[in-house]
């Protein structure tokens, strides 16, 4: 069999496989969160967020709202060197803000069913 025929069969099968995958995965929320930072952020964003009263008051004093915190939780960088991920019963994570409009970093506690903000570090 000629090389050109082999490449043609390969590309034909590959394209049929892509079409089948597109058909089965169409409309589903499929993600590929393989890195440790992406997995932790996905885990944090899937839980209920608890903002203590004193932290909420400091946010209101700086004219910030909880939407800024939610955006930080979605787009943050995690500082694993400063975090205590194996602390029992809840891990502690330091999140660096990547959004320019919010001038704060977060220290959060990630428990089984709830995420609690422990500290806001203003820049």
DSSP labels for the chain?
--HHHHHHHHHHHHHHHHHHHHHHHTTS------SHHHHHHHHHHTSEEE--HHHHHHHHHTT--HHHHHHHHHHPEE-TTT-BTT-SSSEEEEEE---SS--EEEEEEE-SSEEEEEEEEE-
Q: CA 22, CA 19: separation in Å to the nearest integer?
A: 5
CATH classification of 31-122, choosing from 3.30.2310, 2.40.128, 3.30.519, 1.25.40? 3.30.2310
**pLDDT value of residue 61:** 84
21 exposure class (CB count in 10 Å sphere: 0-12, 13-18, 19+): exposed
**pLDDT at 58 (0 to 100):** 84
The residues spanned by each domain of the chain are 1-30, 31-122
Q: Edge to edge, what strands does the sheet with 114-122 contain? A: 48-50, 114-122, 104-110, 91-96, 77-78
Tens of pLDDT, residue by residue, the chain (123 residues): 788 899 999 999 999 999 988 888 777 776 777 888 888 898 898 999 998 988 888 888 888 777 878 888 888 889 999 888 888 888 999 998 877 676 788 899 999 889 999 988 887
pTM of the entire structure? 0.71
Task: Write down how long the chain is.
Answer: 123
């Amino acid at each position: 069999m000629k090389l050109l025929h082999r490449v043609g069969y390969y590309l034909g099968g590959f394209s049929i496989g892509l079409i089948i995958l597109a058909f089965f995965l169409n409309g589903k929320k499929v993600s590929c969160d393989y890195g440790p930072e992406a997995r932790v952020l996905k885990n944090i964003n899937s839980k209920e967020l608890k903002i203590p009263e004193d932290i909420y008051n400091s946010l209101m004093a700086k004219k910030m709202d909880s939407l800024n915190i939610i955006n930080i939780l979605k787009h943050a960088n995690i500082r694993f060197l400063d975090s205590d991920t194996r602390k029992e019963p809840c891990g502690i994570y330091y999140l660096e803000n990547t959004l320019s409009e919010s001038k704060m970093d977060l220290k959060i506690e990630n428990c089984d069913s709830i995420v609690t903000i422990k500290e806001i570090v203003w820049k």
